[in-house]
A and B are shown apart, each in its own frame.
Chain A
Amino acid sequence: QVQLQESGPGLVKPSETLSLTCTVSGGSISNYYWSWIRQPPGKGLEWIGYIYNSGTTNYNPSLKSRVTLSVDTSNNQISLRLSSVTAADTAVYFCARGFCSSSSCSRFQFDYWGQGAQVTVSS
């Protein structure tokens, strides 16, 4: 059974960089798209970006200037860095795997999710 586990600091100061890691167990990260998605308190979901195991990335245009995703295939990990954070970046951050049907693999439909990491931006 594939499992995803987010980890990283739960408190980040304004203007600093948020860094999270998603560790995948029970399966390989190869041949799948991996996304980060966040959910501010009491609000809806926002897609942040995806990365493929080759290192190909794509980001939400609204966050593109501040986001960097990276992949470590040897450790089965995907990482997120979000720079210049403000209180508006306070959210639960999820990593998720792109769903593969019998015919194709999706970049934008997600079957496995981590339990989420709460990140608060505050001084």
Chain B
Amino acid sequence: QSALTQPPSASGSPGQSVTISCTGTSNDVGGYNYVSWYQQHPGKAPKLMIYEVNKRPSGVPDRFSGSKSGNTASLTVSGLQAEDEADYYCSSYAGSNNLVFGGGTKLTVL
């Protein structure tokens, strides 16, 4: 199965909002509400930021929000802070007990 499509890069200034998209198909993103988003700083393990499209695990700031429309999921980071600079990956259940990840987006805080 193909990876989900994410823009390679995104950027914003401190305090601004930025949205990262994650495009799949009706067989993954569009077909299930099991989209997750992970933040990964260089040399570190990924951290779960959003699960089931729009839910935040305990401890994740409410500046991070998720949504989905059709075959595209989105992660919005509001009130950008320097520590938000990282790689972000989406993932989606793809049916038949399978999981697919996006290619990742490098978020730069200008």
Contacts and interface: CB of A to CB of B under 8 A. Distances in A.
Interface of A: 43-47, 58, 60-62, 94, 96, 99, 101, 106-111, 113-116
Given A47-B101, A99-B48, A108-B36, 18 more contacts: A43-B103, A44-B89, A44-B101, A45-B101, A45-B104, A47-B91, A47-B98, A58-B97, A61-B96, A61-B98, A94-B45, A106-B34, A109-B52, A110-B36, A111-B48, A114-B45, A115-B45, A116-B45
A109 B98 contact: no
A108 B57 contact: no
A47 B89 CA distance: 12
B102 A109 contact: no
Contacts, number: 63
B3 interface: yes
A19 to B, nearest CB: 21
Interface of B: 1, 3, 34, 36, 38, 44-48, 51-52, 55, 57, 89, 91, 93, 96-104
A99 B98 contact: no
A108 B36 CA distance: 9
Nearest to A46: B101
Contact of A108 (B3, B34, B38, B47): B34
